[in-house]
Amino acid sequence: MLAACLLIFVLLQNVMPRTYEHRLHAELMTNLSELVSELERTPQAQWEPLLLSFTMENGASINIREHTGTGEITGQVTTLSIGIFTYPNTQDVARSAWGAATTVAFAQDFLSEGRQYTITAIGEMAARTVAQLSDIFADIFPYVFLLILLISLIAAFVYSRFLAKPIVQISGISKKIANLELTERCDTSRSDEIGVLANNLNEMAEKLSVSMDELQRANEQLQADIEKEREHERRRRDFFSAISHELKTPVTILKGELDGMILNVGKFKDRDKYLQEAYKTSESIEKLVRDIMTLAKLDTISLQPQTFVLSKITDEFITTYEPIAQSKQLKINRRYDENTSIQADKTQIEMVISNIIGNAVKHSPENSVVDVDIAKDGDILRLSVQNSGVQIAPDELKKLWEPFYRIDKSRSRDTGGSGLGLYIVKTILDLHGFFYKMESTEAGVKITICFK
């Protein structure tokens, strides 16, 4: 702004004197034409006031010559001058105490009272007049410069407050956002381009914050999945370690029995007895292998839900285990609500019901009671199986869902199965998303499953 104002000032200093000179000449020519019009309408005896007024107003000298009939110009009629300037004719250039003068002459013919005249107006503008204009510009230059400087400083201050300061603030906030301080926001009270920039930055920070939250949640989910996979891998290793142990024991027993019978030593001479023992051992190995294969299939199984009546398949498995119950003089009580239909994979649920009913019958003492209840509670169908006469410590209940865990620490096949039954039940119910729990009651142990 300062450079532009100084340039304008320099141009005015050089152009204004010339413009002033040109304007004086134009006014002189115009005034001369008006004077000629007056002289044509005025008798010669009354010319002097008009000529005197013209010379005083325009700072010019007047020469008037009359034309003869032969076309020649006679002597001077009148010569008027103002001040100390005198021009006897159009070729003379007067000099005075004012110094050199710049002159300009305008001539015009006119008729008055039947006579033809030539009037010449000689205008002069002293060089000092133009110099004075330049001097005036030089005198006022310091004041103009200070004024321009003051205006420039004020403009710079306003610019810095109105434009630069908000941009600096936005720049600072953008650095904080770049350092992931996503709670920072810009002032959005302005409606100009800076306000638009602030809004865009705020919107970017908001979206970045949302993206960071989503990334954080995804990372937490990934960590949870990794931990879950690690836990799964740990359980897998423990599972295979337990399998090797579970298989090693009966295989060793079977091998020892067969070796004894082959060598026909000691008690193994009674082959009929130990062949039956070997057969039972092979049956336990077969059951264990079947359970392991069932678990292997569950890892890759694709559930095929269908609607079926839960009470019907429960009755079927109660009938299956009825001979065992009778041999132990067990009483099985059934209490079913109407409409016991559920939607699930029938084959897998049958495996669940078989394990639960079988465990209740096998692990109940003689002359005890097994209660089987199916109750409707809104949208939830609840199955509960309770065997009386059995008590399990609370810390043992949770462990019963683990593979190969048996309360009998000797892990004898005479007091329990493979230890995979409840683990298979847990796996199937987890796949379906059904709630289940095992608890100790005053009467005994109760398993509850909620189908929804």
| Residue in the block written with tokens 């020519």 | 29
pLDDT, one tens digit per residue, over 344-398 is 999 889 989 988 998 888 888 888 999 999 998 888 999 999 988 888 877 788 7
74: in domain = yes
pLDDT (0 to 100) of residue 95: 34
Residue type, 175: K
In a domain, 370, yes or no: yes
How many residues does the structure list for the chain? 452
Q: 0.85 cut: is pTM over it? A: no
Dihedrals phi, psi of 74, to nearest 5 degrees: -85, -170
Within-domain flag for 242: no
Rounded-to-integer distance, Cα 16 and Cα 14, Å: 6
Residue-level pLDDT at 79:
43
Residue-level pLDDT at 300: 67
Q: How far is CA 104 from the centre of its chain?
A: 79
Cα separation values, 268 from 162, 212, 276, 371, 428, Å? 107, 73, 12, 44, 43
d(CA 26, CA 61): 16
Residue 353 counted as domain residue? yes
- List, in order, residues 6 or more apart from 375 with CB less than 8 Å away: 335, 337, 381, 382, 384
Taken in order 280, 286, 289, 291, the sign of the CA dihedral is negative
Non-local CB neighbours of 253 within 8 Å, separated by 6+ positions: 281
| Sheet strand arrangement including 60-67 | 73-80, 60-67, 115-126, 101-112
Last residue of a domain, one of 139, 164, 180: 139
254 close to 282: Cβ distance less than 8 angstroms? yes
Q: Given 139, 161, 178, which residue is the final one in a domain?
A: 139
Residue 167 in domain:
no
pLDDT, one tens digit for every residue, the chain (452 residues): 778 877 887 887 778 777 877 887 888 889 899 999 998 888 888 888 888 888 888 877 888 888 875 544 444 444 443 332 233 333 333 333 333 445 678 888 888 888 888 888 887 654 556 667 777 877 888 888 888 888 888 888 888 777 777 788 888 888 888 887 777 777 767 777 878 888 888 888 888 888 888 898 999 999 988 988 887 787 777 667 766 766 777 788 788 878 888 888 777 777 778 788 888 878 777 877 877 777 777 766 778 889 999 999 999 989 988 988 899 899 999 999 888 899 999 988 998 998 899 888 888 888 899 999 999 888 899 999 998 888 887 778 877 877 777 665 444 444 455 677 888 888 888 888 899 998 888 888 899 999 98
N-terminal to C-terminal alpha carbon distance within the chain: 81
In a domain, 354, yes or no: yes
End of a domain among 139, 165, 187?
Answer: 139
- 202-255 pLDDT, tens digit per residue, is 888 888 888 888 898 999 999 988 988 887 787 777 667 766 766 777 788 788
222 within some domain? no
Cβ proximity of 367 and 395 under 8 Å: no
Residue 366 inside a domain? The answer is yes
Q: Which domain holds residue 58?
A: 2-139
pLDDT at 375: 92
- Number of domains comprising the chain: 2
CATH code of the domain in which 383 resides: 3.30.565.10
